[in-house]
Structure 1
Amino acid sequence: MKKAFDVAVSGAFWILGSFPILVIAMVVKASSRGPVLYWSDRVGKDNRIFRMPKFRTMRVDAPVVATHLMTDPDRYFTPAGSFLRRTSLDELPQLYSVLKGDMSMVGPRPALFNQYDLIGLRTRKGIHRLLPGITGWAQINGRDDLPIPEKVELDNDYLRRRSFGFDVKIFLETFKKVANRQDVSH
């Protein structure tokens, strides 16, 4: 049921969102030098590394670390980057990763390849066995503001409670959070 939901929803978003996706790609290209997409090495199911696409929101010379670890992330944003992050539109290319099978619509967010503390905690709790998601239980309960141990506890709660109904609840709640720009710091 989850796989069918993932394919149906991501496919529908690709079809219905193709025009906005094209417009965003043109804005990214026109507003800064560099590629339209940023391919990030992420940790997927069973701690396997995969390449996850996002619309590029940072300058090409930005350090390869989580944004919240930067001392002054604002200086690295492209002209459209901050808006794309606040509205989560930079995440749209991840629909490709869902169709490819590297990600799900709902699950723990994939860790950066160098977030060893997050990877270690998730592995100890068995969370690494899950397919990572575009959105997840931790994202609708704090997103950028949560310390890593709290994110892992919410991911573990998702692991215990996961069901199709719970995924639908998280998916719908995500839209409310994004529309209200709640819990998004950049």
Structure 2
Amino acid sequence: MDLLLSLIAIIVLCPVFLILAIFVRTKLGSPVIFKQKRPGLNEKIFTMYKFRTMTDERDKNGKLLPDSVRLTKFGRLLRSTSLDELPELFNIFKGDMSIVGPRPQLVRDIVFMDSTQRERHSVLPGLTGWAQVNGRNGVTWEKKLELDLEYVKRISFLYDWKIILMTVSKVFIRDGISAEGMDTAEDFGDYLLRKKKITKEQYNAAIEESKGLLRSNINFTNRYKERQKS
């Protein structure tokens, strides 16, 4: 189902991809596609594709400005309509993702999850999921992860189709796009720190762990490419 539907969607939506690419390039600059490392099945890291929604505006010291400044009106429109997610169809076609499954979070998020919460990675991440049709970013992190685990336990063909149909209605009403008072979704670690559920020392240690995971992935990828050339 993933292979067939993603291929059909990519072919049918080619004109939409082209139009959006032109608008993104004109209004937000290049690159048009935003690439980011995300943990997938069994926490194997892959590169996820999205249309960019923010500019690269920086302060006088070269540091990126806050998300609220870089997220333009056009970027907000892309997010509210979920059009920025369309390039993930290529991830589905490649086998990195599924149409339905727990949303792939940041690598820096998984290091703050306990062993039970990390069981969400025992299935392919999805373009949409049970948490997305039950509040998306409008629910707490704990509730979101609880819904992901509920999906893992109940996963079935008919259940996936139920979620797909629910997703269509949620996209039209633009429900749960972001947490209240925030322009973008809050990282899990930042949420735990803000709620005083972890200390600053625990936060810093986990962030360093996530950086190590990313470095290990880059080194593994480079070694693999070198073996392919030899």
TM-score by structure 2 length?
0.71
Q: Which residue of 1 aligns with 2:173?
A: 180
State how far apart, in whole Å, the 2-side matches of 1:78 and 1:120 are: 37
The amino acid across from 1:169 in the alignment is K
How many residues align? The count is 172
Work out which of the residue numbers 143, 149, 157 in structure 1 matches 2:142: 149
1:55 aligned to 2:51? yes
Q: Which residue of 1 aligns with 2:156?
A: 163
Q: Secondary structure at the residue paired with 1:8?
A: helix
Q: Secondary structure at the residue paired with 2:108?
A: coil
In structure 2, relative to structure 1, the CA distance for the partners of 1:117 and 1:154 (3 Å cut) is same
What is the RMSD of the two structures over their aligned residues, measured on CA atoms? 1.8
Work out which of the residue numbers 98, 104, 113 in structure 2 matches 1:110: 104
Gaps of 5+ in 2: 59-64, 184-230
- Residue 145 of structure 1 and its aligned partner are, at CA, apart by 1.3
Q: Which residue of 1 aligns with 2:85?
A: 91
Is the contact made by 1:111 and 1:119 (CA closer than 8 Å) also made in structure 2?
no
State how far apart, in whole Å, the 1-side matches of 2:137 and 2:78 are: 15
Query: What fraction of aligned residue pairs are identical, expressed as a percent?
Result: 41
1:9 aligned to 2:5? yes
- Residue 72 of structure 1 and its aligned partner are, at CA, apart by 5.5
Q: Secondary structure at the residue paired with 1:24?
A: helix
In structure 2, relative to structure 1, the CA distance for the partners of 1:44 and 1:183 (3 Å cut) is same
1:74 aligned to 2:93? no
- Residue 37 of structure 1 and its aligned partner are, at CA, apart by 0.4
Q: Which residue of 1 aligns with 2:35?
A: 39
- Residue 118 of structure 1 and its aligned partner are, at CA, apart by 4.0
State how far apart, in whole Å, the 2-side matches of 1:122 and 1:12 are: 33
In structure 2, relative to structure 1, the CA distance for the partners of 1:60 and 1:133 (3 Å cut) is same
Greater radius of gyration (CA): 2
State how far apart, in whole Å, the 2-side matches of 1:61 and 1:47 are: 32
The amino acid across from 2:48 in the alignment is M
Is the contact made by 1:32 and 1:79 (CA closer than 8 Å) also made in structure 2?
no
State how far apart, in whole Å, the 2-side matches of 1:22 and 1:121 are: 41
Is the contact made by 1:140 and 1:170 (CA closer than 8 Å) also made in structure 2?
yes
Gaps of 5+ in 1: 63-70
Deviation string for 1:2-60 (max 9, x for gaps)?
A: xxx11111111101111011100000001122200000110101111110000000112
Is the contact made by 1:54 and 1:92 (CA closer than 8 Å) also made in structure 2?
yes
Is the contact made by 1:86 and 1:184 (CA closer than 8 Å) also made in structure 2?
yes
